[in-house]
Amino acid sequence: MPKKKRPSVMDQIESNAQDVYDKILKRKKPTMSTPVRSLANVKYHPKKGHFEMLGKTKERTLTVGTVKTFAQTLKMMALSKELIESNDMATKREAYYISKNWGKAGFAEKPESDRIMDDVEAMFGVNRELLKFVPEAKGGDTAGNLMVIDTDSRGKKLKIDCTKFGSGAYSIPTDVESLGFQSKAKFILAIETAGMFQRLVKYDYWRKKGCILISMGGVPTRACRRFIRRLSDKLKIPVYAFVDGDPYGYFNIYRTLKVGSGNAAHLNEFFCVPKVSFLGVTPQDIIDYKLPTHPLKEVDIKRAKDALKNDPFVKHHKRWQASINQMLKMGVRVEQQAFAKHGLDFVVNKYLPAKMRNTAKFLP
Amino acid sequence: MPKKKRPSVMDQIESNAQDVYDKILKRKKPTMSTPVRSLANVKYHPKKGHFEMLGKTKERTLTVGTVKTFAQTLKMMALSKELIESNDMATKREAYYISKNWGKAGFAEKPESDRIMDDVEAMFGVNRELLKFVPEAKGGDTAGNLMVIDTDSRGKKLKIDCTKFGSGAYSIPTDVESLGFQSKAKFILAIETAGMFQRLVKYDYWRKKGCILISMGGVPTRACRRFIRRLSDKLKIPVYAFVDGDPYGYFNIYRTLKVGSGNAAHLNEFFCVPKVSFLGVTPQDIIDYKLPTHPLKEVDIKRAKDALKNDPFVKHHKRWQASINQMLKMGVRVEQQAFAKHGLDFVVNKYLPAKMRNTAKFLP
């Protein structure tokens, strides 16, 4: 969502295009400016809770050399305007194919098209969904104490009751911007694997504890992260993450969910969930619950050491550093299904209740 | 689902275990027999519509050398019995961790545990879900004219109306065996990408045409294939596949959906959808609709040539051979989003209606 008082995307597109047009009429070289999208242009903002862009921008001035990308950027802006006006949307891949009708401005390869779309997104400082460019990938299922408010394709209001899916779930759509929510849930539990999600659904966890369960299915998609973020903003209840106890779970999943990632810093503001905290599985859980483990792989060790050295989030949080060092010392990783060793119901009847008695102790 | 008059899984487990027990009491060596699971033990059965196992079996006799796998197989059978009795389920990963309590019969690595589970599945000639072993991965969303009947965890009957999800969808659970269906849909459309699924939902395709849309999200998971198969059996309406026009779409997705795969022949009977036919995208569509393409990659060419030479399904169907040869000659592949070149609504308003006027012409 754009911050208050920010001009609408539509206004921004029009005023940008107007600038270019006016300059051309004055026989001046038109310019467009986009923030530099890289880790070098990023800092961790603990208070805001996400990676944030520093001020570096790159200018694209219309010259013989830039004429093609300049035209492509304008065409991409025009496409966005069209989509907003017609209440339609396009995936990145569709946008690429649409460009096949742009004559010489057509993209030769999809990565070119993706790059220009990222530029446009960063230029307007909004998330792509507001430009009506939606992700290819779906991702994320939810079940529990949540009513999702949507409209059908004929504009009729729909209330989707996520307590009524039995063994199934509500599949989060690619574009979640216009969804509304009603809920009396006490917390949101974001789960790494579909298997664990299915276990908690089977054992009625959401009903017993009055919560919303979300299956991220590995690294959460944009749609899934934005969905959790919007729930968190709207419902003002805690979000807890329950993922595998390995560097992939800690950084690729949890860190991305919480503060975002380096190479997409221009949109972390919209996609991160600063209020999430880490329920488990922690290295200490391995000891406390005598869990079966696997040895750390070389890639795990490399990832953990990299994080200690370079990840602004980890460098900010001493408790994470301690946990990562503990994991490296133990030399093992653990999967969230490991609790099954103590019986299939152990995770629901013992582990989660024990953890939930002391949420203040969760890793940040 | 087991065939009629086949003994229940529970009965089979008990009689198998009884055999072993009786032989031991008589001081004879107990034996268990499982079908050989490999392409060499498979033939394509065009009438039944799937790859079928030939008769080869392997015997596992209790000896000093086999004592561990023998014990593991029995423990796995016992776990299945326990799960059936308690109306519970376990993922493959959970079963692996449960084995950590089996003393010396515990599995050292997950692949061992998976192999024994596959053996037990093949031994009883049923799909794993009936043994209450469920997949890790979810997969598959659906929207459209379908009512799914499920029960909640307290045994209360639920009707899930898949016309009421707005931009979202019903996420297919990992275990679909006990779901019921009601529908007046005219056909089922199984779609490769989430992006295209979202497009058809957005443009209200299922309402306009009275159909059920299924997003497979790439190669369909077991749960997704079984769901489509059960829909196909129950509703007796045609199933059409709409996937990318490349060897991956033709073989890894469509062929697997239709007749199954070689290395899992013991369960194709339950998971394949013999009634599906191929809507597109075909190599001929590239010409007919002037679609933008990509050159075939080396791996595409290899896969296509392999299929012509070795795939029993392709070798059976001359029309598939012709299409694959046409693709190889053209040297290009096409994505299902390529229709966007002619406008975002082209696929819904032109391509699909034109195709649906002549479904008899679909590739088999």
Candidate from A91-100, A125-134, A302-311, B284-293 with smallest mean pLDDT: A125-134
Which of A213, A335, A344 is the best mutation test for B, with the most CBs of B within 10 A? A344
Reported ipTM: 0.84
The pair of structure tokens assigned to A83 is 């989509």
CB contact (8 A) between residue B98 and residue A175: no
* Mean pLDDT of all residues in B199-216: 95
Would you list the DSSP string of B195-233?
A: HHHHHHHHTTHHHHHTEEEEE--SSPPHHHHHHHHHHHH
Q: How confident is the model at residue B6 (pLDDT cuts 50, 70, 90)?
A: low
CB contact under 8 A, A335 and B93: yes
Pick from A82, A86, A97 the residue to mutate for testing the B interface (most B CBs within 10 Å).
A97
Query: Which of B134, B141, B207 lies closest to A138 in CB terms?
Result: B141
Three-class SS state of B272: coil
Nearest 5°: phi and psi at A343? 110, 145
pLDDT tier for residue A54 given thresholds of 50, 70 and 90: confident
Sort out which chain A residues have CB atoms less than 8 A from B351's CB and list them. none
Cα B211 from Cα A7, distance rounded (Å): 41
Q: Name the residues of A annotated as catalytic.
A: 97
Question: Chain A closest CA to B118's CA: distance in Å?
Answer: 18
Distance (Å, whole) CA B300 – CA B253:
14
DSSP single-letter state for residue B245: B
Q: Is the pLDDT of residue B2 over 50?
A: no
Q: What's the CA gap between A194 and A185, in Å, rounded?
A: 21
What would the two tokens of residue B215 be?
């997003």
Of the partner residues B171, B178, B292, the one whose CB lies closest to the CB of residue A171: B171
Cis peptide before B281 (omega within 30 of 0): yes
**Contact (Cβ atoms closer than 8 angstroms) between residue A319 and residue A363:** yes
Determine the pLDDT at residue A155: 86
Residue B108: CB partners within 8 Å, gap ≥ 6? Answer: none
Average pLDDT over residues A122-141: 84
A91 pLDDT higher than 60: yes
Cβ–Cβ under 8 Å, residues B147 and A149: no
Residue A137 has pLDDT above 60, yes or no: yes
| Lowest-confidence segment of A231-240, A265-274, B210-219, B242-251 by average pLDDT | A265-274
Question: Can you tell me the distance from the alpha carbon of B264 to that of B295, in angstroms, rounded to the nearest whole number?
Answer: 32
pLDDT value at residue A268:
78
pLDDT at position B287 = 97
Percent of chain B, pLDDT > 70?
A: 96
Q: What is the pLDDT of residues B14-67, one digit of tens each?
A: 999 999 999 999 999 898 888 877 666 777 777 777 777 777 788 888 888 889
- CA B263 to chain A, closest CA, distance in angstroms equals 23
- Chain centre distance of CA A268: 8
Identify which of A169, A174, A292 has the shortest CB distance to residue B171. Answer: A169
Helix, strand, or coil here: B114?
Answer: helix
Confidence band for A189, pLDDT divided at 50, 70 and 90: very high
> Smallest Cα–Cα separation from B202: which of A35, A209, A190, A89?
A89
Flag if A168 and B167 touch (Cβ within 8 Å).
no
Lowest mean pLDDT of A130-139, A156-165, A353-362, B232-241, name the range: A130-139
Q: How many residues does chain A have?
A: 364
Percent of chain A with pLDDT over 70: 96
Q: A2 pLDDT band (50/70/90 cuts)?
A: very low
- The dihedrals phi and psi of A190, each to the nearest 5 degrees, come to -100, 120
Global pTM reads 0.86
More confident residue, A47 or B250: B250
pLDDT of residue B118 exceeding 50: yes
3-state class (DSSP) for residue B112: helix
Averaged confidence pLDDT in chain B: 90
Instruction: Report the gap between the CA of A28 and the closest CA in chain B (Å).
Output: 34
Return the pLDDT at A201: 93
CB A90 within 8 A of CB A83: yes
Residue in chain B closest to A295 (alpha carbons) equals B109
Q: Which chain B residues are Cβ-neighbours of A338 within 8 angstroms?
A: 97
Question: How far apart (Å, rounded) are the C-alpha atoms in residues A339 and A341?
Answer: 5
Could B170 and A172 be called an inter-chain contact, meaning their C-beta atoms sit closer than 8 Å? Answer: no
Q: Could B194 and A341 be called an inter-chain contact, meaning their C-beta atoms sit closer than 8 Å?
A: no
Mean pLDDT of the residues in chain A: 90
- A98: closest chain B residue by CA: B341
Most confidently modeled range among A224-233, B149-158, B217-226, B253-262: A224-233
pLDDT of residue A4: 47
Task: Spell out the residues 6+ positions from residue B118 whose beta carbon is closer than 8 angstroms to its own.
Answer: B37, B266
**Which segments of chain A are extended strands (E)?**
31-35, 42-45, 50-53, 57-61, 90-91, 133-134, 141-144, 147-151, 157-161, 169-171, 180-182, 187-191, 211-215, 239-242, 276-280, 294-295, 332-333
Chain-chain contact of A93 with B136 (C-beta, under 8 angstroms): no
- A165:B158 CB<8 A: yes
Q: How far apart are CA A106 and CA A69, in angstroms?
A: 10
Q: Does B97 participate in catalysis according to the annotation?
A: yes
**Residue B111 in contact with residue B117, Cβ under 8 Å?**
no
| Overall average pLDDT of the A221-248 stretch | 95
